Structure 1
Amino acid sequence: MGPVENPVNNKEYRIPGEAKEMLKSLASKWEDIDDANSLQTLSASDLHDPDISALIAAKMKEFHGLEMPGPKDVSLWHRLRNWLKTAKSLCTPEEAKDFRLDSIEDEISLIEKEFSGDQSIGFCHNDLQYGNVMIDEETRSITIIDYEYASYNPIAFDIANHFCEMTADYHTDTPHILDYSKYPGLEERQRFLHIYLSSSDGLPSDIELEQLLENVEKYKLASHLFWGLWGIISCMPFRNSGNCTHAFCIFTTDVL
């Protein structure tokens, strides 16, 4: 991997000017932001910067500990089944066959059963890609934005999804292609999880760290199902018009 670019040095391409001004306007009303002008959305390679990754790990632990009103039920399996039902309703029989939608219900049930057990549940972001993480250039504090998919879920799912997002770069000509050479290696994953567990509860035991590492690796499967189904239902209404530019929509259109 080449040198990690500084999050301060590559501002221009990351976010359109109008969107940046809108974010700054909103951020100026947030109590924990001293200077909205110092906020910058991260780039893909920033997620691999050890210092920035450590800040994200600590912020994720804080986010997962938020107390939200209402029941604290896991939403993942219900959402997957709802999205599968929607995908089937939007696809032709031929498309459903190509996407193997008839077998996905069994896959959801299989991994739900496999992953059931005593796992930590928290309020999860569920979409922690680099575009949803902002950094204050002056204080080096992290702000998480875009809570469209936020809900209670196993924290291992949220972390697994974040690791998978390290393989994506949405500012390329092929934003739908994930580069798994950029998936964090074992040492990088261990470092992230150690900081995550240490940020509020003291030093974790080796067993605690290994168990979370194992759970995160399992939940990669759920993350792939999550965004695969999202891509299908996002793409189908636009598949003949060419008007959708979402990365996964481009992918599903290519497959069809």
Structure 2
Amino acid sequence: MGVVENAVENKEGRLPVEVKETLKSLASKWEDVLDANALQVIPLKGAMTNEVFQIKWPTKTEKVSRKVLLRLYGEGVEVFFDRNDEIRTFEFMSKHGQGPRLLAWFPYGRVEDFINARTLSASDLRDLEISALVAAKLKEFNELDMPGPKNVRLWDRSRNWLKAAKSLSSPEEAKAFHLDAIDEEISKLEKALYQNHQRLGFCHNDLQYGNIMFDEETKTITIIDYEYASYNPIAYDIANHFCEMAADYHTETPHLMDYSKYPGLEECQRFLRAYLSSTGNQPNNLEVEQLLQDVEKYTLASHLVWGLWGIISAHVNKIDFDYIGYARQRLDQYWLRKHALLGSSSANTNV
């Protein structure tokens, strides 16, 4: 999940000894660092599953610091993903110039290059230039040839998360969220959304604005945070990105979604054209319309997945966020939109 800098006092005391030693060992190898022990720790806010810090050291060049990013994993979130898979993905992405370099890792966190770019804001996703760059970068991401099996993970993940949500919820909570009905909904969705023409790709699966970095000078986009990345239908990855346009995690009520901000028909088509044409081939109207129909239907899978994520997070995560309120909105949206999206073959963009 994305982060925003919160420049407060040095928080070195919060770091485990092993982490401090790893950081000092890294810094001692950099010739420009004045003193490897003089590290400053600045918490970054906005992360929803991890604690994230900017670590910096004074260098021999006045007013220039050497910076890295430290990520300490949240407790209990192993239910969502395999950390070994994530590290393998991270290393692959680094080698292929897709994200920051991995500098060090330990069982409960990692150290990575600090990217000199800004994290996008919610409003940036509506910027025509930035949106087109995000579309092109997402296509590049989806076409990565990640080693390992190239099987769709969406449905197994949904079932695993449902199982976890049921085991953690009280009977009242399970009833309120209709958890007993969701297993059948997952099977129905899997059957309804399976299409021979659909393209699979390596998907980010969490392309919210906080996971996208933008370098103003070079106009380049970097996609970060690969915890949930796996092979899936590309329509699901795009659908999830569209759903994230209804979110703003930097307000007084970060859990509240505003579905009036879901992109309209023209905005969806523009994004899909930028996505499909980014490798040089101009798509015809039929290709755009077909992908749009698939994307619209996959918004339902996104609502289910993140609804279950919210229920689980409420029980395992200590970060100050109304996970239950968030889950309620995503699952309500699923039930609200299900008939319109699956009962008709026409694209409906008013999710």
Q: TM-score, normalised by structure 1?
A: 0.85
> 1:21 is paired with a residue of what secondary structure?
strand
Partner of 2:6: 16
Partner of 1:185: 264
Q: Does 1:244 align with 2:314?
A: no
Contact 1:56 1:142 in 2 (8 A): yes
CA distance in 1, matches of 2:314, 2:306: 12
Contact 2:174 2:180 in 1 (8 A): yes
CA distance in 2, matches of 1:160, 1:213: 9
Contact 2:243 2:299 in 1 (8 A): yes
Alignment CA distance shift 1:22-1:32 (3 Å): farther
Partner of 2:152: 74
Alignment CA distance shift 1:32-1:225 (3 Å): closer
Moved over 2 A (4+): 13-26, 29-33, 35-38, 246-255
Alignment CA distance shift 1:253-1:73 (3 Å): closer
> 2:250 is paired with a residue of what secondary structure?
coil
Aligned residues: 238
Contact 2:314 2:322 in 1 (8 A): no
CA distance in 1, matches of 2:126, 2:215: 17
Contact 2:215 2:221 in 1 (8 A): yes
Alignment partner of 2:232 out of 149, 153, 156 = 153
Equivalent positions of 1:58-137 (< 5 A) are: 58-118=136-196, 119-137=198-216
Alignment CA distance shift 1:231-1:140 (3 Å): same
Q: List alignment gaps of at least 5 residues for structure 2.
A: 8-41, 45-52, 57-66, 70-93, 100-112, 332-351
Q: Does 1:208 align with 2:287?
A: yes
Q: Does 1:141 align with 2:216?
A: no
Q: Which has the higher contact order (CA 8 A, sep 6+)?
A: 1
Alignment partner of 2:304 out of 207, 211, 225 = 225
Alignment CA distance shift 1:159-1:247 (3 Å): farther
> 2:165 is paired with a residue of what secondary structure?
helix
Equivalent positions of 1:3-42 (< 5 A) are: 14-17=4-7, 18=42, 19=44, 21-22=54-55, 25=68, 38-42=116-120
CA distance in 1, matches of 2:240, 2:280: 23
Structure number with the higher helix fraction is 1
Contact 1:161 1:220 in 2 (8 A): yes
Contact 1:134 1:142 in 2 (8 A): yes
Structure number with the higher strand fraction is 2
Contact 1:38 1:137 in 2 (8 A): no
Contact 2:206 2:240 in 1 (8 A): yes
Partner of 2:21: none
Q: TM-score, normalised by structure 2?
A: 0.63
CA-atom RMSD in angstroms: 2.7
Q: List alignment gaps of at least 5 residues for structure 1.
A: 1-12
Deviation at 1:177, TM superposition (A): 1.1
Deviations 1:30-74 (A, max 9, x none): 8678x9674100101000000000000000000000001111000
Contact 1:235 1:253 in 2 (8 A): no
CA distance in 1, matches of 2:98, 2:298: 32
CA distance in 2, matches of 1:78, 1:50: 35
Alignment CA distance shift 1:57-1:252 (3 Å): closer
CA distance in 2, matches of 1:95, 1:36: 41
Contact 1:38 1:138 in 2 (8 A): no
